[in-house]
Structure 1
Amino acid sequence: MPVSASLTESATLLRRIGVVVGSVLVTLAYCLDVLWRAALRRLDRARVDRYTRGWAGALLRLVRLEVAVVGRAPDFSDGRRYIILCTHASHYDIPVSFVALPGSIRMLAKSELYRIPVLGLTMRLAEFPSINRHKRDQALADLARARQMMESGIVLWAAPEGTRSRSGELLPFKKGCFHLALDTEAVIVPVAIRGIHKVLPARSWRFNLGQQVSVHIGEPIDAASYAREALPELMAETRQRIAALLGE
């Protein structure tokens, strides 16, 4: 049910500061919990799954964001390798995905994030993979690890646009996550999040509170049915499905 206009508001400067500080504190608290549990060897995947959803839910409550889901995700526990390819128009794409979708979802992270103190180590311990495409030996090792993680039940989340869209319209797709899908013979799950760009527009700190977004889940695409040289066709098919989900 749509949120009424009276519940939607632009955050004041004081509220923006509160959202940012609250988000940092929530993230830090979950990171420290992961670190000490890992040190005591009391960290497992099920707990990390609860933490990612708890962290995501807390961030969404800070901006009073409501989430509706359209469509149904596949059974991620069927032994196949899965990669969610999602639109990217806000920093909130990731927490919304964690809340809306089932399974042990882990974001395919940029290597730069691992350099951030506390956060980087937490992400490694929580099984967030990264692929370094600039160094071949490292890329092969990262790819082998990502495939092993997917075979053990991890569902990767990636944004084929690579950067956030200011308008919410689809940007050109990059090839990296499609190479990964082909290399791991993964099943691609196309996902589009409508209205997310209004919550926190790209490259701004203008929070809009009380927004409602909808997560649209499309029919899966089996990358194993595409030859390596058919990468452009795989990209085009995925883009077409995501654009349809987005309503473009």
Structure 2
Amino acid sequence: MELQGFGFTVLSFCMMVLLVLYKCSNTVKYYVKYLIYTACVMIAAMLFIPYFCFRPKNVENLLIYAEVLKHLTSVLGIKWTLRGAEHLNKNKSFVIVANHQTCLDIMGMFNIWNVIKLMTAIAKKELLYAGTFGPAAYLAGLVFIDRNSSKGKEAMNMAMEKLKQDNIKLWVFPEGTRRSTGEIHQFKKGAFHTAIQYQIPIVPVVYSSYNHFLDHKQKVFGEGEVIINALPEISTKGLTVKDIDELMEHTKQRMDIVFRKISAEAAANLKDN
């Protein structure tokens, strides 16, 4: 009993020290927030895997997963503001292309999934082996592709056949790799090729910059707002593969303009508060 009491005392002391460090040290707060985020994603995945096994590859599983995990927002101190919801909640299939800055973009998706409802996403094959998240995401209908293989486009096209039939949206990060440099980088062609091939619209979604409250180099993870702005759809009717480059550039230009505008607004809102 004395040993148990001593162990409890040590644990309580360690928790108090961690709490003080969390309040006083930006670095500790940075790592603790990411640890909480990662742990909750993995634990939720582990708990949902048995349920997902009863209806594998059903994209409604993703909606349930997102509905639970979106409550992490209050713990992380991020406010997500969605604009243009009317462009996302239509009962038809389209390709959503969004800029990619950090793994927290997924949390933004969790917070707006209930608006989009029937949706899946493209993910790199490596995530399939990311702890419990990979198997859960696979069972929930996420589409995994090998970006370094010619089969990646084939896998995306095979997935799109069923998605179009069932009015399911496909979310893609066309930059491929996340970069928090304060700009939108060059797009890859996959999403645009798929949209043209199946003659379905593209809906651009823009995340404002995280840089006013998140700094990976300085290990700062404060509180702030991320504005998610969905733009009107871009039609692909009548377009062919010859139009891919022009379609990509047109989409990126529209997103660039909005990105600069809402990033400045989100940073100004933080200063006002």
TM-score range, shorter chain: 0.7 to 0.9
CA distance in structure 2 between the aligned counterparts of 1:180 and 1:223, rounded to whole angstroms: 10
Name the SS for the 1:241 alignment partner.
helix
Shift of 1:57: 3.2
1:140-151 equivalences in 2 (<5 Å): 140-151=154-165
Q: Supply the AA of the counterpart residue of 1:226.
A: L
Alpha-carbon separation, structure 2, partners of 1:172 and 1:42 = 34
8 Å Cα contact 1:11-1:208 kept in structure 2: no
Residue aligned with 2:204, SS: strand
What CA deviation, in whole Å up to 9, does each residue of 1:24-81 have, x standing for no partner? Answer: 22112221122111335599544530321321331x22320012222233264523x2
Which residue of 2 is the match for residue 182 of structure 1? 196
Residue number among 74, 81, 106 corresponding to 1:94 in the alignment: 106
Q: List per-residue Cα deviations over 1:161-216 (Å, max 9, x = no partner).
A: 22223332121222122222223322111111113244444x65824221112111
> Mean alpha-carbon deviation: is it higher for 128-137 or for 112-121?
128-137
CA distance in 2, matches of 1:14, 1:148: 45
Aligned residues, how many?
A: 237
Q: Indicate yes or no: 2:225 matched with 1:212.
A: yes
Q: Which residue matches 2:81?
A: 68
Alignment of 1:160-239 (within 5 A): 160-201=174-215, 204=217, 206-239=219-252
**1:247 CA drift (Å):** 2.9
- 8 Å contact from structure 1 (residues 87, 170) kept in 2: yes
Deviation of 1:86 after TM superposition, in Å, equals: 0.9
Paired residue secondary structure (2:120): strand
Q: In structure 2, do the counterparts of structure 1 residues 41 and 14 end up closer, same or farther at CA, with 3 Å as the change threshold?
A: same
Question: How many Å apart are 1:132 and its aligned residue?
Answer: 3.4
Give the C-alpha shift of residue 242 in structure 1.
Answer: 0.7
Q: Secondary structure at the match of 2:82?
A: strand
2:128 to 89, 94, 114: 114
In 1: Cα distance, 2:151 partner to 2:260 partner: 41
Cα distance in structure 2, aligned partners of 1:158 and 1:204: 27
CA contact (8 A) 1:131 1:143 kept: no
**How do 1:11-50 residues align onto structure 2 when only pairs under 5 Å count?**
12-41=26-55, 45-50=59-64
Q: Larger deviation: 207-216 or 66-75?
A: 66-75
| Counterpart in the other structure of 1:54 | 68
Bigger Rg over Cα: 2
What's the TM-score, normalizing by structure 1? 0.82
Is residue 88–residue 159 contact of structure 1 (8 Å, CA) maintained in 2?
yes
Indicate the residue corresponding to 1:3 in structure 2. none
| CA contact 2:56–2:140 (8 Å) conserved in 1 | no
Letter in 2 for 1:82: F
Measure, in 1, the Cα distance between the counterparts of 2:106 and 2:172.
Answer: 9
* Cα distance between partner residues in 2 of 1:61 and 1:11: 20
Aligned residue type for 2:257: A
Distance 1:173 1:47, change over 3 A: closer
Structure with the greater relative contact order (CA < 8 A, sep ≥ 6): 1 or 2?
1
| 1:82 CA displacement | 1.2
- Verify the 8 A CA contact 1:16 1:206 in the aligned structure 2: yes
Structure 1: distance between partners of 2:161 and 2:224: 36
Q: Is the 8 A contact 1:90 1:200 kept in 2?
A: no
Contact 1:114/1:120 (8 A) holds in 2: yes
- Note if contact 1:132-1:142 (Cα within 8 Å) is conserved in structure 2: no
Contact conserved, 2:98 with 2:206, CA < 8 A, in 1? yes
